[in-house]
A and B are shown apart, each in its own frame.
Chain A
Amino acid sequence: MVEMLVDLTDAELVRKCQDNDDSAVRELYRRYREKVYRIASRVVLNHDDALDVTQDVFVRVLKGIGAFRFQSSFSTWITRVTVNVAIDSLRKRRRMKSVAFEAIEPEETDTTVFKRDQAEKVRAAFELLDPEQRSCMVLREIEGASYAEIAQALSCSIGTVRSRIHRARGHLKRILKDMVVE
């Protein structure tokens, strides 16, 4: 049964979820949990918050899956929910003035490209971006989404996405340029 579910497309899986198939719901979670967590953790920049966001995203998605009408792909929909929940979480956290980002323990990075302190600088610069700019950057540079897909996911125009990415890149470019100069 599990093997069969693995072979299903997202749309087929969602239809099964709409028919209250518990194993399909579980498979959907297994399929998307890492993607949701990856996006969330790069937007909220905090491991614990990213886990909370991931849980919240799945609760919202599974609550609303009955009303999902396949007007966009499931992947786009869950990405949109993730980004929105992550941005909301970030705004709440900023209001509460809690610590940000320290909770993430750096994993093994490509040290030939970036030394640890350089990675810290990039990370700090990334943290200074607006949540919306950061979301666009994550979806574009990490998830490889097209501008149209990002615009759909964030419910804004392609021009807005392009401008957010341009500004974010400009900011990070200056940081990287300074590192080269140093």
Chain B
Amino acid sequence: MIMKISCLFIRPLIERFVDEELSAGSEKMIRSHLARCRHCKEEVRLLFAVRKAVQLLPVPLPEERFWNDLWQGVLAELATFTRLRPIRFSAGFFYRNRMALAGALAALAIFVLAMGILTFGTGQQPQSSVVPYIDYHVSQTDQRVPLENQLWGSQYMLVSYHGQ
């Protein structure tokens, strides 16, 4: 198929033409082109045929009793879900849900408390008995003692502390 130069400009617009999305001027231009070009006319015909084919896909609508059965199914499903209206935060709402609200508040309080303790601690300095022992040992150790011996000494103090 040999496309004319004008077809190259028209083709991208053909789908929009079928969808009736073009301005009156563009539509007029397409129509005048289609009157002269059988290739583009065939393209338009195919697009309309696609639409028709999709529309003709068989869809048998259910009989009335099916609709009724379906409605009963919907109602049965909805029976487990009683809330159809939006939540309105009235006094009645808080009264009806007082236990759930109390539980939620308690959970929130515990959470806040736990986060506070984790973040700021209990307010007391951490008590480490090991570190002072090491500091003491290092300060008492002669600076001329080789490093490995100092480390050994620290280990010794730790072992003796844990083992006391």
Contact = CB atoms under 8 A, between A and B. Distances in A.
B49 A176 contact: yes
Contacts of A41: 59
> Secondary structure of the A side of the interface?
helix
A138 B70 CA distance: 23
B85 interface: yes
A141 B78 contact: no
Interface in B26-71: 46-47, 49-62, 66-67, 70-71
A14 B85 CA distance: 11
B57 A126 contact: yes
Contacts of B56: 109-110, 113-114, 119, 122
B60 A104 contact: yes
Nearest to A68: B86
A37 B73 contact: no
Interface stretch (A4-12, A55-63, A72-80, A82-90): A55-63
Interface of B: 15, 19, 21, 46-47, 49-62, 66-67, 70-71, 73-74, 77-78, 81, 83-87
Interface string A8-21: 00000000011110
A44 to B, nearest CB: 11
Interface string A84-124: 00000000000000000000111101100110000100110
Nearest to A67: B86
Interface size class of A (residues with CB under 8 A): 35 or more
Nearest to A106: B58
B85 to A, nearest CB: 5
A153 interface: no
B11 to A, nearest CB: 12
A54 B73 CA distance: 10
A29 B85 CA distance: 17
B47 A173 contact: yes
Interface in A123-141: 123, 126, 137-138, 140-141
A142 B54 contact: yes
Given A58-B70, A113-B56, 15 more contacts: A18-B85, A20-B84, A29-B74, A37-B62, A42-B57, A55-B74, A59-B77, A104-B59, A110-B56, A114-B53, A114-B56, A123-B57, A173-B49, A173-B50, A177-B46
